[in-house]
Amino acid sequence: MLKKVFASAVFGVEASTITVEVNVDGGIGYHLVGLPDNAIKESNFRIAAALQNNGYKIPGKKITINMAPADLRKEGSAYDLTLAIGILSASNQIKAENLEQYLIMGELSLDGSIHPIKGALPIAVKAREEGFKGFILPSSNAKEAAIVDNLEVYGVDNIKQVINFFDEGEPLEQTIINTREEFNKRLEFPEFDFSDVKGQESIKRCMEIAAAGGHNIILIGPPGAGKTMLAKRLPSILPPMTLHEALETTKIHSVVGRVKDTGLMAQRPFRSPHHTISNVALVGGGSYPQPGEISLSHNGVLFLDELPEFKREVLEVMRQPLEDREVTISRAKFTVTYPSSFMLVASMNPSPGGYFNDPNAPVTSSPAEMQRYLSKVSGPLLDRIDIHIEVTPVPFEKLSDERKSETSVEIRKRVTEARVIQTQRFSESETVHYNAQMNSKQIRKYCGLDGASKELLKTAMDRLNLSARAYDRILKVSRTIADLEGSDSINGTHISEAIQYRSLDREGWLG
């Protein structure tokens, strides 16, 4: 007898439906065809044990299983449940008249319990698109699949539940989430808030500007100055995620199997990989491609703490995705693309010992050591960072100050208003949405200066010995400062402030 069961395979952040045909016939043997990988080929051992332990068996007949389309590579253990139910049904051990209305996936353990899968969200999106009635999957993935409406989502813990559902019509518990309601509820409460940071008004101002224009930023300061603390709070002042952005980001996290109980992500992600990270873990890849940290930060913040400690080559591979806002991974037979539109926040100590020009520093570094340390970050990556700011530790009196400072929600309001202006400005462009993304032509067009401001900028550049690359950055940041003020034109005050945010060009630190 021939039966069909449905499952799905994920490529990039999109899923494709897989039809699993199971044929049970006279004779003996077990054949699995249609480009399965080793984990799938091994599934018959898991299935045999799981069935045995629940009072069923793989029949001693000729079983042929075809996974179609045959040219699409299928990987992993998430098809165990699909195959098991297919075998039971094709061998008439269970009746399953409505089998074809469901997508069924899950990894089996030997006792028949069901383990989580990766990519439940993109799979659910596809299932709804293709008109499936329901999706039966591991219970720990149910919340993430239930983000999709008009699809019945059933989380299960054991194969026995699935068997009873099809064979005896015993109902499964449906997971229902009102996505929009849930999303709105969680939108307002950032986990980390700027009001926790005492003092540091000028740094907060600087981060507000960075958030408003989408500018990449680097924080320079000695250990304990609060760099990590400040960076962590940046997502909380970025404009709230739209439902569309939240879906995009959650999909990527779903593909690496990291959504679990949170369901839809309502806060922008903040990722902070360690400096020993590999190229693949940062940008994505591997023989079965998976998204990397830059994609997990999509629509949020990627924080590279202690930037000079990262291997130079790792930083190099990030340049292209920073430009394109997506990363494409090519393999012999296919390519996948992961979105990677993130704000880069970096931090560094001003020297390998941690201090710069500080007479009280516990350690000092020789000029040669300093040069070696700083040369690691010079060049192309730094070229993509608009704002440099020095962070000095706040004095004790400020730290113990009981007064509450401004909350992230208040700051975010101003940021969002400045973004509205930018959205209008770039409404005709498909690729540019905020000031940091402007190309040189757009800079000429939108960052015009009057005579006096031009003169001011020229004098400052000469006197502070600013590099040519600083010029465009200063204009972009000035544009954002003007937007925050609701000013159409850029004036001298805006320029002067933007000039302050070029520390690394100024001090002659980087040759």
Ligand X SMILES: Nc1ncnc2c1ncn2[C@@H]1O[C@H](COP(=O)(O)OP(=O)(O)OP(=O)(O)O)[C@@H](O)[C@H]1O
Residues that bind Mg ion (CB under 5 A): 228
The answer for residues whose C-beta is within 8 angstroms of residue 445's C-beta and 6 or more apart is none
From the list ligand X, Mg ion, none, partner contacted by residue 233 (C-beta under 5 to 8 A by kind): none
Given 197, 217, 461, 477, the residue binding ligand X (CB under 6 A): 197
Given 118, 227, 494, 502, the residue binding ligand X (CB under 6 A): 227
- Please say which residue, 187 or 277, places its beta carbon nearer to ligand X: 277
- Please say which residue, 377 or 394, places its beta carbon nearer to ligand X: 394
3-state secondary structure of 42: coil
3-state secondary structure of 389: strand
CB of 375 to ligand X, least distance (A): 20
Given 161, 200, 295, 365, the residue binding ligand X (CB under 6 A): 200
DSSP codes joined into one string, 462-488: HHTT--HHHHHHHHHHHHHHHHHHT-S
Residue 345 binding ligand X, by CB under 6 A: no
- Please say which residue, 399 or 452, places its beta carbon nearer to ligand X: 399
Residue 221 binding ligand X, by CB under 6 A: yes
| CA separation for the pair 318, 437 (Å, rounded) | 16
CB of 227 to Mg ion, least distance (A): 5
- Please say which residue, 95 or 398, places its beta carbon nearer to ligand X: 398
From the list Mg ion, ligand X, none, partner contacted by residue 408 (C-beta under 5 to 8 A by kind): none
Residue 233 binding ligand X, by CB under 6 A: no
Segment contacting ligand X by CB under 6 A, of 106-114, 191-199, 367-375, 418-426: 191-199
Given 394, 447, 461, 484, the residue binding ligand X (CB under 6 A): 394
Given 84, 145, 207, 225, the residue binding ligand X (CB under 6 A): 225
Residue 198 binding ligand X, by CB under 6 A: yes
| CA separation for the pair 480, 477 (Å, rounded) | 5
Given 187, 229, 277, 281, the residue binding ligand X (CB under 6 A): 229
- Please say which residue, 228 or 487, places its beta carbon nearer to ligand X: 228
| CA separation for the pair 177, 415 (Å, rounded) | 31
3-state secondary structure of 265: coil
- Please say which residue, 202 or 465, places its beta carbon nearer to ligand X: 202
Residue 204 binding ligand X, by CB under 6 A: no
**Among residues 257, 264, 252, 246, which one has the least CA distance to residue 296?**
252
From the list Mg ion, ligand X, none, partner contacted by residue 419 (C-beta under 5 to 8 A by kind): none
Pairing of strands 134-138, 152-156: parallel
CB of 360 to Mg ion, least distance (A): 20
Tokens of 282: 């940062």
3-state secondary structure of 9: strand
Torsion, Cα of 157, 159, 163, 165 (10° steps): 10
Helices 179-187 + 243-255 axis angle, to 10: 100
Residue 280, Cβ density class (10 Å: 0-12 exposed, 13-18 middle, ≥19 buried): middle
Residues forming the site for ligand X (CB under 6 A): 197-200, 221, 223-229, 349, 394, 399
